[in-house]
Amino acid sequence: MGRCRVYARPDGSVVVTRCDYSQKQFVRGGETKEEFYARLFGLAQEKGESPKGVPFVECDDAAVPWHTKALGFRAAWSVAPTGCRVDMPKARIIRMDHIRVERNRRLDEIDKVINTKVDSGLDVTALRVVRQKLRDIPQTTDLTVATTPEALAALEPSWPANP
């Protein structure tokens, strides 16, 4: 298992510097784990991979929510006393942004159908109802019911069906 240093940038984003003691080829003869980590973290600072003069939390690799990066919540990480955590309010904003992208794609599709039907003189009342439901998705979708990043990523709004 490796060690990590977790830093907060002035903009609120998080930097994680990771060192893995299992890479024995990088351990110098007689060097303890603590010395190894201190040396590698120092090298990371010299290379600009970690900020200098910024408070950090040192933790085990397991205290960083690596799995949430694939869920799209890397920008919601924040420094915690024990390492790093997902800030759920930030994650909800990110998830709503993803929902809005999908909603906008669906709105574009339905607008094309409405325009085609209007040009043909057909009734589009039902399609306009669907379009309004799509517009209301951000207001009608409650993301606070999700208490974990995994549940939040799996949460889908009630998409209206096209008539």
pLDDT digits (tens, 9 = 90+) for 34-91: 888 888 888 888 887 778 788 889 898 899 999 999 899 999 999 999 999 999 999 9
Closest by CA to 83, choosing from 151, 29, 4, is 4
With tokens 């924040």, the residue in question is: 78
Q: Are 60 and 1 in contact (CB under 8 A)?
A: yes
How confident is the model over 98-135, as pLDDT tens digits? 999 999 999 999 999 999 999 888 999 999 999 999 99
DSSP run (H or E) holding 24: none
With tokens 């240093």, the residue in question is: 5
Question: Residue 26: its pLDDT value, please?
Answer: 73
Closest by CA to 58, choosing from 28, 16, 21, is 16
- For the segment 25-41, the average pLDDT, to the nearest whole number, is 80
**Roughly how many angstroms between the first and final C-alpha of the chain, as a whole number?**
54
How much is the pTM?
0.81
Beta strands in the chain (DSSP E): 3-8, 14-19, 56-60, 77-80, 83-86
